Copies of this chain bind each other. A is one copy, B any other.
C-alpha cells in the first residue's frame, strides 16, 4: 500500500472508531508517544497521550453519529496532514489529522476539528 492509501486507511479507521465508540481501536490508532495533541471543537488544546486519551474516553462514552468525506492527504516526508469534513447531525466541521510514519505504520499524533460556518464571510471577522 502506498503512503497516501495507508494514511487514508488510518484516517478512515479513526472515524470508524469515533462513530462506534471503540476506545481500544482509538488508542491503537494514536501514536504511543507522549507528545500527541488534540483540539476538540471549542476546547482548549490538549497535550500529552494521557490527556488526549482521557478526552476520547469522555467523547466516546456517548459516540456521535459522525461521518467523514472529502478527505485529502498532504504528504510531508514521514509526516502527513489529512484535511477532511466531518458531519455530525446537521453540523459540518473542518478537521485536520496529522499522522507520522512509525515502525508500526502510520499513527495519529494530532487532531483538530472546528465548526464550519454556513457563510465564509462570518469567519473573516475573526481571522
Encode contact with B along A93-124: 1 for CB under 8 Å, 0 otherwise: 11010101000000001101111110010111
In terms of DSSP, what is the predominant structure of the interface of chain A? strand
Chain A contact residue count (CB 8 A cutoff): 47
Point out the residues of chain B lying under 8 angstroms from A116, CB to CB: 42-44
Copies in the complex: 2
Contact B83 A45 (CB under 8 A): yes
Known A81-B98, A124-B59; contact A76-B45, beta-carbon cutoff 8 A: no
Q: Is the CB of A115 within 8 A of B124?
A: no
CA distance A85 to B81 in the complex (A): 21
Residue A28 is within 8 A (CB to CB) of chain B in the complex: no
